[in-house]
Structures are given as structure tokens and as C-alpha cells.
Amino acid sequence: MKIGVVGAGAVGGFFAARLAHVGHEVSVLARGKTLEAIRARGIRLESEGRSYTETVRASEHARELGAQDLVLLAVKAPSLPSAAKSVGPLIGAQTVVLPALNGLPWWFFLGDQGPLANHRLNAVDPEGVIEREVPLSRVIGCIVYPSFSAPEPGFARHAAGSRIVIGEPSGGASQRAEMVAGVLQGAGLAAEASDSVRREVWTKLLGNICFNPVSLLCGCSTDRLIDDERVYRIFVAMMGETLALGRALDIEVDIQPEVRIAATRKLGNIKTSTLQDAEAGRTVEIDGIMGAVVEAAQSIGFPVPLLRAVYALGRLRAGALGLL
């Protein structure tokens, strides 16, 4: 397949290298030092005890790469509106767009039938740019569970996990979701197609909404946060609020907070993407991960006092660091 990857950081670099390694024609839309590194040395990946160096097409101009069969959006939420303006030439008549994002994606309530049907999440797409530039009909939802880092431009490191869940935003099964899952499986990933991708997004959100902002506030890896009894109780309460909000939005997630926390603890010493970004001086995803959830709660008048408090503190911390 012709596969375009927008953004070649930790997540995009991982997918680009793994897909190129099994023979797909991979193109990367990148810029700056990342583009220079990929052109000079290829895209490099350390994953599961193996090292890959793959040659891919790379450009800062989508028109040079042309229409793709599959486009993977792997930029952070704050950068996605500007990136969306440039991806048009990558999207052809049959292109599938796979957004690999943390938090609530821009498409989450679009086309939905629940209490927030067709609500635009201003926290992630304030001017509707992504909604206009990336047609919802082309989108397949994507939840990425593995942990990654980017030690340097053009180099991705895969720390743990291989589960990827994809599915139609409107729910139900589809041939194209099965097709994309098969492509990812062919690259050695534990990919699966879900008939309820919104529920899967909310399940992943349970971890992100706790670990990411609190790691920003405390500067700690997830194992240290979870092993602190006081912080652990905060996580249980935050997940409880998130689960209750999900039910109010007709999103039923059948998992206990303690079980969800235990799954992350098994990964060991992991730095969240938010903490990695903060330490590298990059813009953090506090609005996409927490702001969108608080917005959804406010829109239906649902109380989430602890989530609101942590969001306020996390956003203030990000602003103080100059990372908003």
C-alpha cells in the first residue's frame, strides 16, 4: 500500500518504520530537523529488541508525496489544526485516514447520536479546521496503547505494548476497518477492529486523563505515581468521574479503576507522552486530553469537580512552562 505518515515523532516514526520494513511504500510528511534526519539517515526504530533503519520518502510538502491509500495522522493534538491544512494532497478518492491521537479526537461526537450529537470539541478544533479539511467519511478511529519515545529527530524507541484498536466512528463492523487492521497485523502489531471504537477511546482515556496531567504536575513516571498511596486514591476518583461522565454520554465502559491502573503499573517505569514533551520543551496536550473532557461535561451540565481541578492546575503548570 501507499501509506502516508503525517508527523514522524515517536508514534509516527514507529508506524513508518514498521510498515516500511514489511514492504509498504511509506511517505512521511515532516519538517525541520526531523525531515533533515530522515533524508540523511532514514527513519530509525528500536522495537522489541530489534533495530530498524528504513528508507522512506520524506517531504515538507504533501503535494510532492501525492495521494495515499492510507494516511496516518501522528501529530500531537495542539499541532493537528495546522497540520490538517496541509494534508489535502494526500487524500485521494479512496484514502482512509487513521488519526493516532491521545485524549478525545475531534471526530468523537461528530455524527454521534448521543447527548452531544455533532458537538464540535472546541478544545481540540476551535475553528473547525480539522473538521473541514479531513472528511469524517474518510476517518477510521484509532487507539494506540504502546509506549514510545523519540530520543532524537528521526529516531523512535518502542518501550512496551503492541495493541492497536481501530473502528468506524459511527460504530459497527466494516470491511475497511478489517483491511486496516490486517495491514497493521502484517507489520507485527496486535491490531484489532472494534465495533464500538468510541468505547475503546474512552477506555484509553481513563489512563491518559490521570497519568498524563499528574505526571506533568509531579514530574514522575507512572510507576512512582501509582505506587504513591495518596496519588493512587486520586487516580481512582478521577477514573470514577470519567466513567460516570461516559455513562451520561451513553458510553458504557465495563472496567474498574483499580483494574485499569494495574494494567499501566505492569508496564513499569514509563514516562507519559506529556511528561516527555514537557522535559523536551514541547507543547503539551493538556487541552486535548483533559480540556475536551471537561468541555463535554460542562456541555451537558455534568459535575466532574476533581477533573476540573486537575485540569486547572495542569493547564496553569503548562502555561508557566511556556508549553501551551
Do residues 28 and 175 share a domain?
Answer: yes
Domain residues for 286?
A: 199-318
CB atoms within 10 A of CB 230: 6
The cell numbers describing 99, all together, are: 488519526
- Rounded Cα gap, residues 273 and 207, in angstroms: 12
Task: Indicate which CATH number applies to the domain containing 87.
Answer: 3.40.50.720
- Residues, the chain: 324
Average pLDDT, the chain: 96
pTM, rounded to two decimals: 0.95
Phi first, then psi: what are they for 6, rounded to 5°?
Answer: -100, 110
Do residues 104 and 250 share a domain?
Answer: no
Q: Over 90: is that where the pLDDT of 48 sits?
A: no
Do residues 129 and 94 share a domain?
Answer: yes
CB atoms within 10 A of CB 209: 28
Number of domains in the chain: 2
pLDDT at 247: 98
CB atoms within 10 A of CB 249: 21
Q: Alpha carbon 153 to chain centroid distance?
A: 19
Number of H-type helices and E-type strands within the chain: 14, 12
Q: Over 90: is that where the pLDDT of 113 sits?
A: no
Could you report the per-residue pLDDT of 306-320, keeping only the tens digit for each? 999 999 999 999 999
Q: Over 90: is that where the pLDDT of 256 sits?
A: yes
Domain limit, last residue, from 195, 226, 241: 195
Do residues 52 and 122 share a domain?
Answer: yes
Do residues 122 and 251 share a domain?
Answer: no
- Rounded Cα gap, residues 310 and 318, in angstroms: 12
Residue 323 lies in a domain: no
Do residues 105 and 178 share a domain?
Answer: yes
3-state percent helix, strand, coil for the chain, nearest multiple of 5? 45, 20, 35
Identified catalytic residue from 33, 204, 266, 271: 204
Do residues 58 and 28 share a domain?
Answer: yes
Do residues 13 and 116 share a domain?
Answer: yes
- Rounded Cα gap, residues 197 and 143, in angstroms: 8
Q: How far from each other are the two terminal CA atoms of the chain, in whole angstroms? A: 37
For residue 204, indicate whether it is catalytic: yes
Strand partners for 98:
72
Could you report the per-residue pLDDT of 206-230, keeping only the tens digit for each? 999 999 999 999 999 999 999 999 9
Residue 148 lies in a domain: yes
Q: Alpha carbon 156 to chain centroid distance?
A: 16
- Rounded Cα gap, residues 237 and 258, in angstroms: 10
Do residues 298 and 183 share a domain?
Answer: no
177-194: average pLDDT: 97
